[in-house]
Every structure is written in C-alpha cells, then in structure tokens.
C-alpha cells in the first residue's frame, strides 16, 4: 500500500498520530511539505501571511525534520505551489492509496482537507494532535461554545476533561517513494533568531531547559508578565505553532514536574496558558470565519476605522507612547513580543489610535515567529471588545502599564534607539 503524509503544523515525529497511522498501513510513502507562494505576497490589511522571522524558523524546522526522517531511511519532499494542486498531482502520479494529514482549526486548513476528501480518489485519514483535547471529548456546538475563558475552564474541570497522552514516534517508517524536491530555503537570512532554533529537538531542549535546568517554571507566576529576556516565559509558543512539539507533550511534562515537585501557583499558571491556547483553538473550530470578521464573534461593530498615519506610526514604533514604541521595535527586530507587550500595543492601536483591529492582527501574523492563527485572532478580538472578554473592550492605561512593568525604564531605554520597521523589512 502506498501512502502520503502531508505535513503542515505537525513538523515532528513524536506524538504524531497521522505519521503513526501511515506507518502502520503503508509499506511505501511520500513525506511531503508544500510551500505556498501566496504566503509571501501582501494580502489583506497590507501584510503578508509569512514574514522573514517565521520563514527562517520554518526552514530550520523543515531541515530538522528532514534530518530525523533520514535517520529512518526516509526523506522530506518539499514542493512549492498550491497544495490543492500539488497533493492531487502527487497522488495521481504515484498512485497513492492513503493520504494522512493532521487536523487544524484554521479556516483555510480545514477547507483544504475537506476539498481533498471530496476530490481525491484515495482515502484521506485525518488525525488530531494540534490541541490538548480530542473533538470527541467536547460536547459543544457553535451556539453553546463558552463565551468566556472562565466558563470554558470550569467546564473542563467539572467534566474532568484531561489532555490526551502523547504517543511515541513510530519505530520504523515505510520505504520512501522517489520524487524530486523543489528548490527551497536557499535565501540568505540577515536575522539571527538565536536562541530560537526551529525543529523538534530544539523544542524539546527548550522544554527541558525551562522546566528542569533553569527552574524557570518554578517562578513562572512571578515572571510571566516580563517584557524582555529569555527565561521569564517558557518561549515554547513558536515550536507549538508549527508543531515541532505538541501541547500534549508539554502537558505531560507539566504533570511529571508536578509529580516530582508538587502543584504550585506557577504550575497552575502554566497549565492555564495551555488552556487559553486550547480555548482559542476550539473557538476557531466552532466559529470559523467569524474569527476574522470586523464585528468578531460577538457581532459587534467597534468604533474604529483605518487611519494610515496612525497605523504606520504604530507599526514602526513612532507613536507618542514610549512603551508601545519599545514593544513594536522589539517585534520588528526580533520577531517576538511578550504576552504583556502584545496586550499593551493592541490596546493602543484600537483605543488610542482608533485603528481597525484587523490591521494589527495581520501585522502580527506577518511578524511573529510564534504566530498561531486561533490564538492571534482570538486575542485581538478579546482586546477589541468583539471576542471573548466579558468586560467588553479592554483599554489599558499606558502610563500605569509602564510604571508596573517597566518601573526603571530599562525596557524603553533599550529599544528607544532601535530602528523602525520600515528600515528592517527589506524583503
């Protein structure tokens, strides 16, 4: 039997049910990743889907996946094109019997799988591993999905819904099917992502560092609102976003930590962050395209529009608000911004500058190494008052935020003389 696995947001061997299913049923297989040229073209709201930081992190992750597959006498076939043309062409050319793919809550991602399921003559097997829970563990529909995170968490706790146990990588892989690879990843990158480095091994190293070696988890509740540095948060979001590690692996390691050291406010804060991620994944699963709508899932129109001058000042870090400028310049030079920083700049764009929240969400999509569609758009709706926040529109007092989170001005001073985004984004 011949198979094909289409890697998307599951760039790993461990805890990959799609890969295990393929390995059990097929004796020959293609391992495929498709780079869509549309990712690099400006789309809605003046931004690209994929900016240079995440592009480099993706290529690092693909090279790491290729190395692991080679150890098992397989190879990664990277193709460039529209996946809804590439995958059917490969299936026809090699007479594929089974296509394996991992489910993802994204609107386009689900549409792609639905299209292949309808049009391919072979079997399409869809596995779940991008979230903590399985679809069968949740009893919601669109109308009954919790309107707030607190309601979601209470439901999970009351029903004793537990994360799935991660599974091991397959012992062996099917024999590879010969197929040419397209040219990919040959760009000269000018940004150093260190200490970020894409790939499953690097993600597991970071997990081990934060949980065990540096004891970052021990103090997580106290440090998680930091604005700069590496150890104030787990920094696992980038590896989770492209699937180099799974949230179930993180949850299992958290259980292991609590077994050894006991439950604490910090471990509960870490699990709460995993649940927030989970909440947004299922929100996108149930609400779909409403996650991108101006009115949001609340069907409420914000009193904002597009002011070009205001938006550009925000994007380049040249507003009248020093804390916002520092956060945006950090993002533009590193591809990263802390969770606290994201809330601050989102509140500024919407409330102080009066700009349509979708322009900010799209810019984050382009710039962030750890962009995750559900988490990004869920959080932006939350700040814009059209999403999951029970209090309505969140407006941060920027002076107070500065006093609390940058009391000595070190963060603002560090980024005050950094270049604006305009000089950095030379693609």
pLDDT tens profile 206-243: 999 999 999 899 999 999 999 988 888 999 999 999 99
Sequence ranges of the binding site for FAD: 220, 233-237, 370-372
Q: How many domains does the chain have?
A: 3
The secondary structure of the chain in percent helix, strand, coil, rounded to multiples of 5, reads 50, 10, 40
Mean pLDDT score of the chain: 93
pTM over cut 0.85 = yes
Is 66 domain-assigned? yes
Average pLDDT value for residue range 183-197: 68
The domain boundary residue, chosen from 79, 98, 130:
130
- Do 27 and 94 belong to one domain? yes
- Find residue 124's DSSP bridge partners: 99
Beta strand 76-80 pairing with 2-7: unpaired
Between the CA of residue 305 and those of 34, 260, 291, 301, 358, what are the distances in Å? 36, 52, 18, 10, 10
Q: What is the DSSP letter of 355?
A: B
The residue that leads in pLDDT, 58 or 188, is 58
Task: Evaluate if residue 424 carries a pLDDT over 50.
Answer: no
Is 59 domain-assigned? yes
Per-residue pLDDT at 229:
85
Per-residue pLDDT at 393:
65
Secondary element (H or E) of residue 29: strand 28-35
The domain boundary residue, chosen from 257, 287, 317:
287
Average pLDDT value for residue range 132-138: 97
The C-alpha atoms of residue 275 and residue 281 are separated, in whole angstroms, by 10
The domain boundary residue, chosen from 130, 152, 180:
130
- Find residue 98's DSSP bridge partners: 3, 123
Per-residue pLDDT at 419:
67
Per-residue pLDDT at 425:
35
Instruction: Name the residue range of residue 35's domain.
Output: 2-130
The residue that leads in pLDDT, 365 or 417, is 365
Per-residue pLDDT at 362:
97
In sequence order, which residues have a C-beta less than 8 Å from that of residue 286 and are 6 or more positions away?
Answer: 140, 141, 142, 145
- Do 416 and 321 belong to one domain? yes
- Do 274 and 334 belong to one domain? no
- Do 263 and 312 belong to one domain? no
Per-residue pLDDT at 423:
36
- Do 112 and 66 belong to one domain? yes
Sequence ranges of the binding site: 220, 233-237, 370-372
Is 157 domain-assigned? no
Average pLDDT value for residue range 2-8: 98
């Amino acid at each position: 039997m011949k198979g094909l696995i289409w890697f998307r947001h599951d760039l790993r061997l461990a805890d990959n049910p799609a890969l295990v299913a393929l390995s059990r049923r097929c004796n020959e297989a293609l391992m495929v990743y498709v780079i869509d040229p549309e990712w690099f073209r400006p789309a809605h709201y003046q931004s690209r889907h994929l900016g240079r930081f995440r592009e480099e992190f993706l290529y690092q992750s693909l090279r790491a996946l290729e190395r692991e597959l080679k150890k098992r006498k397989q190879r990664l076939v990277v193709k460039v094109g529209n996946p809804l043309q590439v995958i059917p062409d490969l299936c026809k050319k090699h007479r594929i019997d089974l296509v394996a793919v991992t489910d993802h809550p994204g609107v386009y991602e689900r549409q792609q799988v639905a299209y292949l399921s309808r049009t391919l003559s072979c079997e399409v097997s869809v596995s779940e591993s991008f979230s903590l829970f399985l679809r069968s563990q949740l009893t919601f529909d669109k109308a009954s999905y919790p309107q707030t995170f607190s309601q979601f968490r209470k439901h999970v706790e009351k029903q004793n819904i537990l994360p799935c146990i991660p599974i091991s990588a397959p012992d062996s892989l099917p024999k590879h099917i010969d197929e040419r690879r397209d040219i990919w990843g040959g760009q000269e990158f000018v940004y150093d992502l260190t200490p970020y480095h894409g790939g499953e091994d690097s993600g597991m190293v970071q997990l081990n560092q934060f949980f065990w070696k540096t004891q970052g988890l021990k103090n997580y509740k106290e440090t998680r609102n930091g604005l700069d540095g590496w150890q104030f948060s787990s920094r696992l979001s980038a590896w989770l976003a492209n699937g180099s590690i799974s949230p179930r692996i993180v949850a299992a390691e958290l259980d292991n930590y609590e077994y050894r050291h006991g439950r604490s406010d910090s471990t509960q804060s870490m699990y709460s962050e995993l649940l927030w991620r989970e909440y947004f994944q299922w929100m996108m699963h149930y609400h779909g395209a409403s996650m991108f709508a101006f009115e949001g899932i609340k069907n409420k129109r914000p009193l904002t529009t597009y002011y070009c001058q205001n938006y550009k000042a925000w994007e380049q870090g040249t507003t009248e608000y020093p804390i916002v400028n520092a956060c945006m310049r950090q993002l533009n030079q590193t591809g990263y911004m802390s969770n606290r920083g994201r809330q601050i700049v989102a509140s500024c764009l919407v409330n102080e500058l009066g700009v349509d929240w979708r322009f900010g969400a799209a810019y984050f999509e382009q710039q962030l190494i750890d962009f995750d569609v559900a988490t990004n758009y869920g959080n932006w709706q939350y700040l814009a008052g059209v999403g999951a926040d029970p209090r309505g529109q969140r407006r941060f007092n920027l002076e107070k935020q500065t006093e609390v989170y940058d009391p000595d001005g070190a963060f603002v001073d560090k980024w005050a003389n950094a270049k604006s985004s305009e000089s950095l984004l030379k693609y």
